[in-house]
Amino acid sequence: MIFTSFNPRLPGTAADQRRSTSHGISRRTFTHATLAATAFAALPARPLWADASKPATIPVQVDAVGLTGKPVTLAAAEIKELRAALGGRLLLAADEGYDAARRIWDPSFDRHPALIVRCANAQDVIHAVNFARTHRLRTGVRAGGHSVAGHSQPEGGLVIDVSPMKEIRVDAKLRRAYAQGGVLLGELDRATQAVGLATTLGTVSDTGIAGLTLGGGVGRLMRRFGLAIDNLISVDVVTADGKLLHASEQENPDLFWALRGGGGNFGVATAFEYRLHPFKHQVLDGFRLFPYSQARSIFPAVVELLDRAPDELGLGVAVANITEGGPAPAGRYAGYLAGYVGEDPAVGLKLLEPLAKLGKPLVDLVAAKPYLVAQGARDSETAQGPANVAVPRVTKTWYESGYLYGATDALFDEIIRRFDEVPTYFGAQAGFSQMGGAIARVKPEATAFWNRSAKYDFGNDVSWSDPQKDEEARKVARAIWAGVEPFTRGYYVNTVPGASSQRVRATYGDNYPRLVALKEKYDPLNLFRLNANIKPGTAEG
C-alpha cells in the first residue's frame, strides 16, 4: 500500500531508520519455468542463519499446539525422523538460531513455535506439510516474516519457513522472472532492474514476495501494470496432502485461480513465475506535508485529482502523527503521497499542479528518483530488513484496513474526528490510497481477488515502543477503525489480524462459494488456517 512511504513509526533498528527515510527447487519447476539462459540473474541461496552448530538434544517429548488449540505431544523419535529427512534445518527452542528464526517484522507478535522447519527446497516443504498434517499441528508459513497480521508465527505450532529458498532467474528476452518462495521483493527488484525490467511488487524492500503475491500484490506499478497476481504466470505450491503441484492457466487452473488473491489458504508456494515489463526510467515519488489544520481541505482536493488521474499516477492522502526520528520533524500533519511511474517524472509534477492551491507544504519530498530507490531496494545490498536481522525491532504496530468504494465529506469528517483523539506520543496515520487503473480492468471473477472495483484502500495504524502502552495503543487504533469501518467493504487480506468471518466473506465477495469448494478440495482439514481464512465445512475446530 502506498502509505508505507508515509511511515510515522519510531525507528527501532538501523533497518527501521533506513525505511523511514526511503519512505515466500524442484526439478519439475525447471521444466515449467520457460526461462532460458538468455539473460540470467541470480542471488545466493545461503540462509541468513546458516551455521555448522550441532543441533540441541531433542527432549523425550515436545509439547505443541494442535489445529484446534488443544495440546499435542510430539515424541522425540518423530522429531528425530523429521530432522533426518530435511535438507535444511529443524529448529527447536534450545537450538542456536531459534530466536532469530521465530522473530517477525512486528514484535507485537512475540511467539514461540514448537518447531521451525527452515526449508532448503520444495522437498523439505513436503516433509514439513506431511508432518503438520499427520500430527494436526497449528501451522504457519513464513517467507519474508513481514506479516503485519502475525499469521506466520503460531504460538506452540509448526512454522514452515521458506526464507532460505532464494533462487532468482530472469530471462530478459522472454521478459520472465522465476523466483523461489523465500525471495524478498527488494531482491527481485534488483535482479529485474539489472536488465531494465520490472513487475508489480510491494513498496517495502524486505517484504516477502510469497505472502505479498498470494494476497493480490499491491505496489507502485499496480495502476499501470495490474496487481502482482495479474502478472503471475505460474506458481509451484505444496498442498495440504503433501503434493507439489504446478498451477497455471493450463495446468491445475482452478488452483491457479484460487492462489491469485486467496492468500495462504491453499498451500505453501515454493516458486513463482512473473511477467516483466520494460522499465528503465526514473519515477516520481514522495510526500508533501501540511499543517494538520488543513486536513479538511486536503482530503477533498486530493480526491478530486485522483479521481481523474491517469494510470501512471498514484495518490494517497492521510493525517499522521510523526514522532521523533521519523521521516519529518515530529508533529501532527495532513498530507498526500504521490507516485508517477510514466516515462517522464516531469509529467507527474505537472499533473500535481492543481494541488498548488493547498499552499506551500511544510515538508516536500516529492522528487524524481531511480525505481530501486523509491522501492527501498538499495537500503541494503542483502535486502534483509528488521524481520531478518539478529537485533530485534522494538517498534510495535497495530494495523486496520478496508476498501472504500467512494470518498465523501462524511468520511473525511470521521477520519479527522477520530484522529483528533490520538495522543501525539503515538506514531499514527489514517488515510487512503488509490486503486483503479489496470486493477479495475480485470473482472472480479477472473481471480480470487474480488474487490477490483474498489476506488481506494483505507488504512490506519498506531505505532509505539513502550510495552506499558500496548493496550492503550491497540485501543486507539481500534477507535479510529470503529469510526471508518462502516464506510468500508472487505479488506486487503495481508493486513488485518483476527478479521471476523463476515469481513472475510466481504473480502472475497461473490467468489467466496467457489473458494470454499476449492478449499474443500485442496485443504479439507483447514491445515492452512492462519490467514484470511476460507473455512471448509469438513474442517476441525
pLDDT in tens, 200-236: 999 889 899 999 999 999 999 999 999 999 999 999 9
Q: What angle do CA 143, 145, 151 make, to 5 degrees?
A: 95
Q: Do domains 2-20+280-498 and 170-275 have the same CATH topology?
A: no
Give the start-to-end residue ranges of the domains of the chain: 2-20+280-498, 61-161, 170-275
Are 526 and 540 a contacting pair, CB within 8 Å? Answer: yes
- Measure CA 324 to chain center: 26
In the DSSP assignment, the letter for residue 439 is: G
pLDDT at 379: 57
Q: How would CATH label the architecture of 61-161? A: 2-Layer Sandwich (3.30)
When the candidates are 3.30.160.40, 3.30.450.70, 3.40.462.20, 3.30.530.20, the CATH number that belongs to 2-20+280-498 is 3.40.462.20
Q: With CA atoms as reference, report the closest residue to 484 among 414, 534, 431.
A: 414
pLDDT of amino acid 377: 66
Residue 541: the pLDDT is 66
Beta carbons of 451 and 478 less than 8 angstroms apart = no
- Give the angle subtended at the CA of 199 by the CAs of 197 and 204, to the nearest 5°: 110
Read off the pTM: 0.89
pLDDT digits (tens, 9 = 90+) for 61-75: 999 999 999 999 999
Answer for the pair 186, 376: CB distance below 8 angstroms, yes or no.
yes
Sign of CA dihedral 221, 223, 225, 228: positive
Fold (topology level) of 170-275 = 3.30.465
pLDDT at 498: 73
Measured in whole angstroms, the distance separating CA 448 from the mean position of its chain's CA atoms is 17
Per-residue pLDDT of the chain (541 residues; tens, 9 = 90+): 444 445 443 333 333 333 333 332 222 222 222 222 223 233 333 444 444 467 888 888 999 999 999 999 999 999 999 999 999 999 999 999 999 888 877 767 788 999 999 999 999 999 999 999 999 999 999 998 777 766 778 999 999 999 999 999 999 999 999 999 999 999 999 999 999 999 999 988 989 999 999 999 999 999 999 999 999 999 999 999 999 999 999 999 999 999 999 999 999 999 999 999 999 999 999 999 999 999 999 999 999 999 899 999 999 999 999 998 777 889 999 999 999 999 999 999 999 999 999 999 999 999 999 999 999 966 543 334 444 444 456 788 888 999 999 999 999 999 999 999 999 999 999 999 999 999 999 999 999 999 999 999 999 999 999 999 999 999 999 999 999 999 999 999 988 777 788 889 999 999 999 999 999 999 999 999 999 999 998 766 6
pLDDT (tens digit per residue) in 510-527: 999 999 999 999 999 999
pLDDT for res 149: 67
Residue with cell 502478472: 231
Q: What is the 3-state secondary structure (H, E, C) of 108-145?
A: CCCCCCCEEEECCCHHHHHHHHHHHHHCCECEEEECCC
| pLDDT reported for residue 392 | 53
